[in-house]
């Protein structure tokens, strides 16, 4: 209340703060000056000011200012982003919290190349403007010949939003009650559709919807029939749903388009996932538009994909919202490389051979035992680490109930926490009071790194608390 802060007293002569080096002196010091070329003088100056502030606050001594600045700049050069690479030892292939699909080396290289100026919307032959991302669109059509045209957007949610906005804004879409799903983290597809100003006309019941339900619901206000793949759950027992083929017949009879959100982005059928819809079959069955994600089972970068009838895709492409949902050049490059290059990493992991997984896991167990207790691990082997049969998961709200038979190294529960704090961080699964380290989604070339991480964690734990008798 009107109280005035006293003016800071001048530092007495013996105050160490008087020895804090000046900005230009720190910037000119050999330890720091080299960074100016790399990071620019502005970044360097910010680091100097932060270190001087720490010295004024008494957190470091004036002598520590230069080393503190050098350290800070060193870390900036080494890790310019706070995103930290992790090893996914959860056995969950499309792990949403770990960024869904890891990209193939080809896709990673394509992203790096596209980070510069590229001809994303430019024809080098004529010097004229060209269709944005035409190479990616061509690759999609080559991968799914049933599609007359393709469109790439920011994510699956954008693809579905644009489709329903364009076909039914201010009107209705017909959706089965059994497909009114929540995908994850409170994300509900019906809410997304309604948020575009489209009314949902629900048909059928939670467990059963019949062809007649669709036919009866279609009227002059119907903009489209929308079928949504309930990616993350199974309805068992007394159930009935209407196939894409039947829906397509009803839609055609009433002259409304059928939009199918297949979710995972499988382009063609996959033997491991017999119940997962794919774009090619869905279009062959008569869907007019198929929407999906690019970073689930397609295994590419975050993207939304629309495939289907050329006239409808063209309408979507010309809608003003298409601009708001469009992808950047780096994504387009990664998606094209995923489609044209080697098999997606997620498909490698999905199809991992259980026998190979077991052999790798046993080798890991042996390496860890050797490093933590050379010669003396036999007695503890069964207690500390054992190789157990587990089931992996497709994840990312896909393939519910699909068993992915595999193997894991089972360890005491506290290991998971310690592994996450290692370098690199390893994310394992905790189940039934045990830590399960599953190699399904660990690149085989990283088994040695994982063994070293585990050995470090177990070595510390065994050293800190002697094994109980
Ligand atoms: C995942 C999913 C979405 C959302 O896709 P994003 O790429 O996460 O936006 C929409 N529909 C279905 C059926 C899904 O599985």
Output the DSSP codes for 145-181. Answer: TT-SEEEEESSHHHHHHHHHHHHHTTSEEEEEGGG--
| Of 107 and 395, more confident | 107
Band of the pLDDT at 370, cuts 50, 70, 90? confident
* Res 469: pLDDT: 39
Find the mean pLDDT for residues 457-466. 76
Residue closest by Cα to atom 13 of ligand 1: 263
* Res 182: pLDDT: 87
Burial status of residue 51 (CB atoms within 10 A of its CB: 0-12, 13-18, 19 or more): buried
3-state secondary structure of 304: strand
Instruction: Assess whether the C-beta atom of 429 lies below 6 angstroms from ligand 1.
Output: no
Find the mean pLDDT for residues 366-373. 82
Mean pLDDT of the chain: 92
Rounded distance between C-alpha atoms, residue 238 and residue 412, angstroms: 42
Tell which atom from ligand 1 comes closest to the C-alpha of 294.
Answer: 7
Count of H-run helices and E-run strands, the chain: 20, 15
* Res 5: pLDDT: 66
Rounded distance between C-alpha atoms, residue 174 and residue 420, angstroms: 46
Instruction: Assess whether the C-beta atom of 152 lies below 6 angstroms from ligand 1.
Output: no
Rounded distance between C-alpha atoms, residue 152 and residue 303, angstroms: 7
Distance of alpha carbon 246 from the chain centroid: 34
416's CB contacts (< 8 A; 6+ apart) are 428, 429, 430, 435
pLDDT tens profile 53-112:
999 999 999 999 999 999 999 998 988 889 999 999 999 999 999 999 999 999 999 999
Band of the pLDDT at 164, cuts 50, 70, 90? very high
Å from CA of 266 to ligand 1 middle: 12
* Res 377: pLDDT: 47
3-state secondary structure of 447: helix
* Res 16: pLDDT: 76
Rounded distance between C-alpha atoms, residue 187 and residue 285, angstroms: 28
Find the mean pLDDT for residues 305-311. 98
Torsion of CA 132, 136, 138, 143, to 10 degrees: -160
* Res 6: pLDDT: 64
Band of the pLDDT at 382, cuts 50, 70, 90? very low
Band of the pLDDT at 44, cuts 50, 70, 90? very high
Residue pointed to by tokens 């199974």? 234
* Res 238: pLDDT: 83
Residue 23, pLDDT > 80, answer yes
* Res 289: pLDDT: 98
Find the mean pLDDT for residues 11-29. 85
* Res 399: pLDDT: 72
Residue 378, pLDDT > 70, answer no
Residue closest by Cα to atom 7 of ligand 1: 156
CB atoms closer than 10 angstroms to residue 354: 14
* Res 403: pLDDT: 79
Instruction: Assess whether the C-beta atom of 339 lies below 6 angstroms from ligand 1.
Output: no
Residue 163, pLDDT > 70, answer yes
**Among the ranges given (201-215, 228-242, 263-277), the one the predictor scored with the smallest mean pLDDT:** 228-242
Residue 380, pLDDT > 70, answer no
* Direct distance between the N- and C-terminal alpha carbons of the chain, in angstroms, rounded to an integer: 65
Residue 233, pLDDT > 80, answer no
Instruction: Assess whether the C-beta atom of 156 lies below 6 angstroms from ligand 1.
Output: yes
| Of 315 and 206, more confident | 315
What pairing do the DSSP bridges indicate for beta strands 386-395 and 92-94? Answer: parallel
Q: Which residue out of 263, 303, 395, 399 has the highest number of ligand 1 atoms within 8 Å of its CB and is therefore the one to mutate?
A: 263
């Amino acid at each position: 209340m009107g109280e005035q802060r006293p003016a800071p007293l001048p530092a007495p002569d013996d105050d160490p703060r008087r020895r804090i080096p000046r900005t230009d002196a720190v910037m000119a010091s050999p330890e720091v000056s080299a960074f100016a070329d790399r990071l620019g003088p502005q970044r360097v100056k910010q680091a100097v000011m932060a270190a001087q502030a720490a010295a004024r606050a008494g957190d470091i001594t004036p002598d520590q200012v230069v080393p503190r600045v050098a350290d800070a700049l060193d870390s900036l050069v080494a890790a310019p982003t706070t995103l930290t690479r992790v090893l996914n030892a959860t056995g969950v292939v499309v792990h949403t919290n770990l960024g869904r699909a890891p990209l193939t080396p080809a896709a990673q290289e394509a992203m790096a190349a596209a980070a510069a100026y590229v001809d994303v919307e430019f024809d080098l032959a004529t010097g004229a403007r060209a269709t944005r991302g035409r190479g990616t669109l061509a690759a999609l059509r080559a991968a799914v010949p049933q599609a007359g045209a393709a469109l790439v957007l920011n994510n699956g949610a954008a693809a579905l939003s644009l489709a329903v906005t364009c076909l039914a804004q201010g009107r209705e879409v017909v959706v089965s009650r059994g497909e009114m799903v929540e995908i994850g983290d409170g994300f509900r597809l019906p809410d997304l559709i309604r948020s575009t100003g489209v009314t949902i006309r629900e048909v059928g019941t939670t467990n059963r919807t019949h062809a007649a339900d669709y036919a009866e619901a279609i009227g002059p206000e119907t903009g489209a029939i929308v079928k949504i793949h309930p990616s993350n759950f199974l309805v068992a027992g007394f159930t009935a749903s209407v196939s894409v083929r039947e829906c397509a017949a009803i839609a055609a009879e009433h002259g409304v388009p059928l939009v199918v959100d297949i979710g995972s982005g499988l382009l063609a059928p996959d033997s491991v996932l017999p119940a997962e819809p794919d774009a090619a079959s869905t279009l062959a069955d008569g869907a007019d538009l198929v929407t999906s994600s690019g970073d689930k089972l397609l295994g590419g970068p975050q993207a939304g994909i629309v495939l289907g009838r050329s006239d409808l895709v063209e309408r979507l492409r010309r809608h003003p919202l298409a601009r708001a949902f469009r992808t950047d050049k780096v994504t387009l490059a990664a998606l094209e490389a995923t489609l044209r290059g080697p098999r997606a990493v997620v498909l490698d992991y999905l199809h991992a051979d259980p026998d190979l997984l077991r052999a790798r896991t046993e080798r890991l167990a042996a390496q860890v035992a050797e490093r933590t207790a050379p010669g003396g691990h036999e007695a503890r082997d069964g207690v500390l680490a054992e190789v157990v049969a587990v089931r992996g998961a497709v994840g990312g709200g896909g393939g519910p109930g699909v068993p992915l038979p595999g193997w894991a190294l089972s360890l005491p529960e506290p290991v998971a926490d310690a592994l996450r704090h290692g370098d690199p961080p390893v994310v394992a699964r905790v189940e039934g009071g045990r830590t399960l380290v599953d190699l399904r989604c660990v690149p085989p070339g990283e088994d040695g790194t994982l063994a070293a991480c585990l050995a470090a964690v177990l070595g510390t734990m065994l050293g800190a608390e002697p094994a109980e008798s």
